[in-house]
Structure 1
Amino acid sequence: MTETNTNTSFTLTILETSDLHGTILPIQYANNTPKEVGLAKVATLIHVERQLNPHTLLIDNGDLIQGTPLAYYHARVDHKSIDPMVLCLNELKYDAAVIGNHEFNYGLDVLGKAVSESNFPWLSANTICIKEETPYFGPPYVIKQFDGGPRVGILGITTPFIPNWENPKHIEGLAFDDAVETASKWVKHLREWEKVDVVVVSYHGGFERDIQNGEVSEPETGENQGYRICTEVPGIDVLLTGHQHRTIAGEMINGVVVVQPGTQGTFLAKVQLQLELRDQAWVVVQKQSELLPVEGVPADPRLMELVQDYEDKTQVWLDQPIGKLIGDMRVSDPMMIRLKSSSLIELIHQIQMEFGQTDISSTALFDNDAPGFSSNITMREVVANYIYPNTLKVIRVTGQDVLDALEHSAAYFAPYTGDGIRVSDAFLYPKPQHYNYDMWAGIDYEINISRAVGERVTKLEYKGKPIDLNGHYDVVMNNYRASGGGNYTMFQGKPVIRDIPTDVSELIVSYMMERGTVEAKVNPNWQVVYEK
C-alpha cells in the first residue's frame, strides 16, 4: 500500500467524512448562493493531509447518496450515469464507506447501483440478509496492511433503528442487528483471528450518553449506541461516528478516541495514531483527533469538473416552472410559521389530505432554510421546502395518541418566562430537530408554552367538539413519523389505512401542475400562546 517502513515507529492518519447528504458543491440550492460546505472543499483538505502523511486511510461514515437536489435528480430523474457521490469517492480513492440509514431512502435498486459502481467496499456488519443470515453488503470489515507497518481492521456498523423510519419496501428481506452485539462479535474476530494491530470501528450512529460524564442524554432506544460500544466492547482503538450531525473531536471514552464531523461536508474529521514496534507487534501509544473546517478552503477543481454535467442538468430541472401562486407563501421568520397557522403549511396539509383521502393531517417545517413559495413556483422551491424523500401514510390513531403527539411537539418550545420564545435545548442538541415539531390540520388546538411540558395542550377539538380520547381518527403524515420517528412512539404499530408510495415532493408537483394556479389560504385552527 505504501513504501516499506523499517522504523520502529509509525504514524497513521485516519480521515472521515460523514452525513454528506449528497453535498458536493459549495452552494445553497434554494438560491444558488455560496455556502461553506461540500465534498469539493473537503477534497482539498484530503489532498493536503495525504501530502503530510502517506500512511492515510479515508472512510465515509454513511448518509452519502441522499440529501440535495443533485442527489435526488440522479436517483429519481436521470440515473443512467454513475452515482455522482460515488464518482467523487472513487476519484478520491476512498478506502471504505459505511451504509447510513438514508442510503435506503430511494430503495435497494438505487442503493445497489451505487454499491456496484464503487471502487471501494461498503460495510455494514449488522445489516443482515434474512434468507442467507449473512451481512447483506458482503464482508463486514476490510483490512489494510501497510508495508513495514501495522495491520489495520476497519469494521462498519449501521444504526439498527432503520425499520422504525424506512419504507418497509425499501428494506424488504433485511434485518438490522444490535450495534453493540455486532461490534463485540467482529472486534473480537479482528483481534483474535485476523491479528490486526489497530481496530477502527466506523459506526453510522451517535452517542446516547454525555461523552464526558456518561449521563443519559437521550432515550436509549438503540438508535445511538456509541457510548456503549466504547465502554462495553474491548479492543477498539478508534470509533468514527455520525448520524447525529454533531461536531466532536478531542474526546476519549474508555480509552477509545471518538470523532464526528458534522454534516454536509462542513468538516473533515482527522484521527492520528502513533504506534511503536514492540516484540514484533505494533502498539498504539498515542491517539488524538481534530476537525478540519472547510470554511475558506477552495473547492477542488477536479471534483467540480467531474460533476459539472450532473449539476447543469439539475439546475435546468430545478428552474422548471410548475405553477402560479396567488398570495404570499414565503418564509421570512421560521419561528412565526411554528406559532400559528400559515398558508405554506396549510398547502402541504391540503395536498396530504387530498392524496391521503382523510381530513386530518400532520406535517412540519423541516428546516429553517426553507424559503416557502414565490409567485412563480419552480421545482427548486419544492425540493428546497420538502427536503426529504418521504412518502405518505394514513394511520388510525386514538384521540389520546393525538393529544400525546401534540404534547410531544409542544416540548419544542423552552418554558416561556417573558424573555422571548425560544426553542428547547432538547430540539437543538445534540443536533437541530426542527423537523420533529409537527403542525396539524383538521383539528383545532392551542398550545400554552407558559405551562409545564406535558401539560401544554389547553384546547383540542375535532369538528367543534372536544376530541374523544378513546375514539379513532385517520391521520395522514409522512412515513418517518408514521413509524414513530422523532420519538413519536404513540404512532408505532398503528393500523395503516392507506399507503401512498410516491415521494411527497412529487405529489406537490402533481397537485400544482394539475391546478396551474394555487392560492395562499390560512385556516386559523391552531396557535401557540403564552401567559404575560
Structure 2
Amino acid sequence: MKRLILLFSLLLSLSLVGCRERSEVVTIDLFETGDIHGSLFPESILEGADTGGGVARVAAVVRSYRERPEARPVLLLDAGDLLQGQPLTYYYNVVDTTSPHAVAEMYNYLGYDAMTVGNHDIETGHSVYDRFVREANFPVLGANVVDTATGKPYFKPYVVVEKGGKKIAILGLTMPTLTENLPPHLWSGLEFRDQVETARAYLPEILGQKPDLLICLMHSGPGKKEGDPRPMAANVGYDLARAIPEADIVLCAHDHRAALDSIPREAGGYTYILDAGADGRMLSHCEISLGVSGSGKPVVRVTPELIDLSAYEPDSDFMEHFAPVEQQVRDYAAQPVGRLTAPMDSRCVFFRPAPFTDLIHQLQLELFPEAEVSLTAPLVENLVIPAGPIRVADLFNLYKYENYAYLMRLRGSELKAHLEESYDRIIRTMTSPEDPLYRIDESRRGGPYLPLEGPSFNFDTAAGISYLVDVTRPSGDRIEITGVGKGRPFDPEAEYLVVMSSYRAQGGGGLLTHGAGIPMGDLPGRVVRTTDHDLRYYLTDFFRRHDPYTPHIISSWTYVPDAWAAVAIPRDSASIFRDFPRP
C-alpha cells in the first residue's frame, strides 16, 4: 500500500511539472473536523477517561503543520454539530449565557476558517447559535437555510478565502430534514431547502469569482454511493459530488462514520469525499497542490487521508490556555443533585420493564399530570449508574439529548400501531424457543453501538398501559393492550393523552408516521402542549424533589409465551452485549 501511495503521488507530481511555466505550485494543508459534539478536551467529563480524541488533539496536529519549516498555508474547517453533547456545551448554552461562549473562543484560538451549521447546533435554539455566530471570528455557513422574513440566506452561504495567493471557495450546506425532528421554536423563521438544488443555484455565482479550488462543506453524510434521488434527503455527499463536478472536495459529517472515497469526473480527475467521524477521534486531511499549466489550465492535486488522533498527545498550550474553562465545567458537572438508593442498569430496558427507562416515564407523567400514557426509548445502551450521589454529569448519561416533552392526542389504535412498529424493529417472530428473538445484525459488530438492526433510540416502551408482546405472532399483530391506568379497559377508538419526547413527537424515527400512520403534516395539530425546557433541565429538579430517589418500575409489559422468553432473553442478551463489557 505504501508503494502504491508513493507511486500515485509521483504520477500526480509529474502532472504538475508544466505548472511552473506560468506560476509556482502552492501547497495547502486542509483539515476538517465534524460531529465534535462538545468533545473539546481529551478526557470525557461523562466517562472520566481519555477518549483518544478531542479538539485539543486537533490543535496538536494543526500546530505541527503550521510550525513546519516550509510554513505551508493551513485551511481549517468544521462540518457542524459542535454545540451539543457534553457538559461543556450545555454549561455555556444554558447555565452561563453571559460570558463569551467557550466553544467560540476555542475555535477562534485555533484559527478556524469556516464552519457549516449542523442539526444539533440548530437544536440549541436561536439564542445559542445566534450568539455563537456573533462571537465566532470565522463565518458560519448554511446556504440552504433561508430567512423566511427576507427570503435571503440566514447564514452566510459561502466564503472565498485566500491561502498562499490562491482563492478557495467554501460552500456550506446542512441536512434539511431537521425540521421533522426538532420543535419549531428552535428554528422559527427559518426554511431549510434541498442541499443539491441549493448548490446548483449558487454554483454560477461562486464560479464567477474564479476560485482555484471549490470545497463543499456539508453537514450531511456521504449517503449511498449509488445515489439517493429523493428530494430533501439528509445524506447526499455522493449525490452532490456527481451533481457538482466542479467541486474538488466534498467534506461531510452528520452520520458519525469516518469515510474517505472519490468518484471520477467525466472531464477527468476526481472529486474527493471525506468524513472525519465523530467526537474528534479522526481528522480529515488533504494535501492540496494548486498551480496553472503552461496552457493556462488550473491544475489541482489532492492527496487525502484520515488521521487517527489517538496517536497524538493533546496540545499543551491549548490545554493550559483553557484550563480555567475545563475546571469551571468540571465543578459544574460534579455538583450533586440528589441520591440513588440503588443502581440503575440500562441493559435491562431491552428485555423487560426497567427502572432506567421508567425514571423517564415517571418524570414525563409528572410534567403532564393529565397524561394517561408515557412513551420513551433508551438513549444509552451499556451504562450502570451506581447507588449514591447523583451528579449533574450523570444527568447527561441518563438523558443524552436536549429533547423537550410533548403532550399529544393519539387514538388507541394509533398507540397500538406505534408500539407494534417499535417492537418490530428490535424483535422477530419465533417459531420455537430455539429461534432468535432479537434482530441481531452480525455486520454491525465491532462498532460503538449494539449489533441490532434498528437503533435503540427508536425502541419505545410505554407506561400507563399494561400490554403483552406475543413473540409467536407476526409483525403488526404482537401487541395486546390489556388495560389503561388502574384497570380501565383499553379502547382502540378512544383518544388518549400521551407524553413523549419532542424528537418522537416531530416524527423522529417514523414511529408515529410509518408506524401509527399519522401524516407528518398532521403531527403539529396533535400537540396539546409542550415543556418550556429540555428534559435534562427537569431531571435536575426531579432528583432534588425526590431525594433520595429509589429506582422502581411503573411500566407493565412482558413477552409471552413466558417459557419461550425465559429461554431466548438470556441467550440473546449474551450475544447482543458480547463485545460490551459491563461498565
SS in 1 for 2:310: coil
Displacement of 1:201: 0.4
CA separation in 2, counterparts of 1:272 and 1:466? 67
Query: 1:379-528 residue pairs with structure 2 within 5 A?
Result: 379-413=392-426, 415=428, 418=435, 421=438, 423-424=440-441, 432=449, 433-447=455-469, 454-455=475-476, 457-463=478-484, 467-490=490-513, 492=520, 493-494=522-523, 495-523=526-554, 525-528=556-559
CA separation in 2, counterparts of 1:95 and 1:289? 19
CA 1:371 to 1:313, structure 2 compared with 1: closer, same or farther past 3 Å?
farther
CA separation in 2, counterparts of 1:423 and 1:265? 29
Aligned equivalent of 2:205, options 171, 179, 189: 189
**Counterpart contact for 1:373–1:381, Cα < 8 Å:** no
Q: Which residue of 2 aligns with 1:349?
A: 361
Displacement of 1:369: 5.0
Q: Which residue of 1 aligns with 2:247?
A: 236
1:119 aligns with 2:137: yes
| Structure 2 residues not aligned, in runs of 5+ | 1-19, 450-454, 569-583
CA separation in 1, counterparts of 2:146 and 2:443? 33
CA 1:450 to 1:261, structure 2 compared with 1: closer, same or farther past 3 Å?
farther
1:359 aligns with 2:372: yes
CA separation in 2, counterparts of 1:369 and 1:354? 27
Aligned equivalent of 1:376, options 384, 389, 392: 389
CA 1:230 to 1:449, structure 2 compared with 1: closer, same or farther past 3 Å?
farther
Aligned equivalent of 1:153, options 169, 172, 178: 169
* Counterpart residue type for residue 495 of structure 2: H
**Counterpart contact for 2:281–2:308, Cα < 8 Å:** yes
User: Which has the larger displacement, 37-46 or 422-431?
Assistant: 422-431
User: Which has the larger displacement, 280-289 or 510-519?
Assistant: 280-289
**Counterpart contact for 2:227–2:239, Cα < 8 Å:** no
Displacement of 1:484: 0.7
Q: Which residue of 1 aligns with 2:316?
A: 301
Q: Give the alignment's TM-score, normalised by structure 1.
A: 0.89
Which deviations, in whole Å up to 9, do the C-alpha atoms of 1:357-388 show, x marking residues without a partner?
21211112212354435332221211222121
SS in 2 for 1:161: helix
CA 1:168 to 1:281, structure 2 compared with 1: closer, same or farther past 3 Å?
farther
Displacement of 1:108: 1.0
1:250 aligns with 2:292: no
CA 1:8 to 1:79, structure 2 compared with 1: closer, same or farther past 3 Å?
same
Q: Which residue of 2 aligns with 1:262?
A: 277
Aligned equivalent of 1:140, options 135, 145, 157: 157
| Structure 1 residues not aligned, in runs of 5+ | none
CA separation in 2, counterparts of 1:327 and 1:220? 49
Q: Which residue of 1 aligns with 2:185?
A: 169
**Counterpart contact for 1:26–1:41, Cα < 8 Å:** yes
CA separation in 1, counterparts of 2:260 and 2:472? 37
User: Which has the larger displacement, 419-428 or 353-362?
Assistant: 419-428
CA 1:45 to 1:514, structure 2 compared with 1: closer, same or farther past 3 Å?
same
1:12 aligns with 2:28: yes
Q: Which residue of 2 aligns with 1:33?
A: 49
CA separation in 2, counterparts of 1:382 and 1:436? 20
Q: Which residue of 2 aligns with 1:311?
A: 326
CA separation in 2, counterparts of 1:335 and 1:412? 17
Q: Which residue of 1 aligns with 2:292?
A: 277
**Counterpart contact for 2:148–2:190, Cα < 8 Å:** yes
Displacement of 1:134: 0.8
Aligned equivalent of 2:118, options 96, 100, 114: 100
CA separation in 1, counterparts of 2:489 and 2:303? 58
Displacement of 1:434: 2.8
CA separation in 2, counterparts of 1:528 and 1:8? 71
CA 1:467 to 1:243, structure 2 compared with 1: closer, same or farther past 3 Å?
farther
Which deviations, in whole Å up to 9, do the C-alpha atoms of 1:70-117 show, x marking residues without a partner?
111111111332212111111111110111111122221221111111
Which deviations, in whole Å up to 9, do the C-alpha atoms of 1:449-472 show, x marking residues without a partner?
6766x4463433442577544432
CA 1:420 to 1:427, structure 2 compared with 1: closer, same or farther past 3 Å?
same
CA separation in 1, counterparts of 2:445 and 2:401? 19
CA 1:451 to 1:56, structure 2 compared with 1: closer, same or farther past 3 Å?
farther
Query: 1:213-224 residue pairs with structure 2 within 5 A?
Result: 214=226, 222-224=233-235
CA separation in 2, counterparts of 1:12 and 1:134? 32
CA 1:427 to 1:103, structure 2 compared with 1: closer, same or farther past 3 Å?
farther
Displacement of 1:51: 4.5
CA 1:375 to 1:430, structure 2 compared with 1: closer, same or farther past 3 Å?
closer
SS in 1 for 2:170: strand
Displacement of 1:194: 1.2
**Counterpart contact for 1:344–1:373, Cα < 8 Å:** no
CA separation in 2, counterparts of 1:228 and 1:431? 27
Larger Rg: 2
SS in 2 for 1:510: helix
CA separation in 1, counterparts of 2:112 and 2:211? 20
**Counterpart contact for 1:363–1:477, Cα < 8 Å:** yes
SS in 2 for 1:380: helix
CA 1:524 to 1:502, structure 2 compared with 1: closer, same or farther past 3 Å?
closer
Displacement of 1:399: 2.9
Instruction: Give the alignment's Cα RMSD to 1 decimal.
Output: 2.9
**Counterpart contact for 1:273–1:284, Cα < 8 Å:** no
SS in 1 for 2:558: strand
Which deviations, in whole Å up to 9, do the C-alpha atoms of 1:340-360 show, x marking residues without a partner?
111121111011011022121
* Counterpart residue type for residue 75 of structure 1: N
CA separation in 1, counterparts of 2:160 and 2:399? 40
Q: Which residue of 1 aligns with 2:573?
A: none
Larger helix fraction of residues: 2
**Counterpart contact for 2:220–2:253, Cα < 8 Å:** yes
Which deviations, in whole Å up to 9, do the C-alpha atoms of 1:110-154 show, x marking residues without a partner?
2111111111111111111111111112x3111122344x32110
* Counterpart residue type for residue 441 of structure 1: A
User: Which has the larger displacement, 229-238 or 117-126?
Assistant: 229-238
CA separation in 1, counterparts of 2:221 and 2:559? 32
CA separation in 2, counterparts of 1:142 and 1:277? 22
Q: Which residue of 2 aligns with 1:110?
A: 128
